[in-house]
Amino acid sequence: MEFLDAMQHRFACKRYDENREVSEAQLKMILEYGRLTPTSFGLELWSFHVVRSAEKKKALFHACFDQESVATSAFTVAVMARKAAFANPDGDLVHSRGNRFPDPLNVFIDDYRPYYDYLKQEGRLDCWLKSQGYLAIANMMTGAALMGVQSCAIEGFHEQQVLDVLSLDGNQWQASLLATFGYPAEAERPKIRERLEDLVVFH
């Protein structure tokens, strides 16, 4: 019930109470929810950037088309995904990730390579890497709601400007999804959702 309650009361918060801080322990917990989020093949080809200094928040606010949610947030998390080249099955990063698993590295690579080849051929590698960040943000947002902290997913951003704010190279990183966090300075908005029976198809 607690999870359902958090889902029902989380809402896309557009303006936060700037006088109320989110504790360091809560921030760490939100990041932990992200860290524990599963990734495809367990590769974790991502990083989480926490923007909380006044200066960087202002720059990120502009990179997000001046969305107030970013400017007033206690902090904004940007989930950044690696670019396709880093997912190469013969690359150092994949090897270092693969070496953590119980099976020998070659077993992991033999399993992974055909899927990598398929995604590459379809031109979907960057998209595959980017989409995984959405799961991390979803877990962070629901986890935050369980602690009474509100949030808003932010897809409205200028890619290059986000990279610049975070001092990241666009050949190496791409922005997946951002989310703002804080205590709301606005009333909760009720959920608007389609009925389950209109969404679900059983086969």
Ligand X SMILES: Cc1cc2nc3c(=O)[nH]c(=O)nc-3n(C[C@H](O)[C@H](O)[C@H](O)COP(=O)(O)O)c2cc1C
Binding site for ligand X (CB under 6 A): 11-12, 14, 67, 69, 152-156, 177, 189, 191
Q: Closest approach of Cβ 124 to ligand X, in Å?
A: 18
Residue nearest to ligand X (CB): 156
Half-sphere exposure of 82 (CA within 13 A, CB side): 14
Closest C-alpha to 192, from 1, 11, 6, 3: 11
Q: Closest approach of Cβ 117 to ligand X, in Å?
A: 29
Q: Closest approach of Cβ 201 to ligand X, in Å?
A: 22
CB of 62 or CB of 113, closer to ligand X: 62
Q: Closest approach of Cβ 104 to ligand X, in Å?
A: 38
Closest C-alpha to 10, from 18, 19, 2, 22: 2
Closest C-alpha to 37, from 139, 147, 118: 139
CB of 52 or CB of 158, closer to ligand X: 158
Can you say how many angstroms the Cα of residue 190 is from the centroid of all Cα atoms in its chain?
Answer: 24
CB of 76 or CB of 116, closer to ligand X: 76
Are 157 and 63 in contact by the 8 Å Cβ rule? The answer is: yes
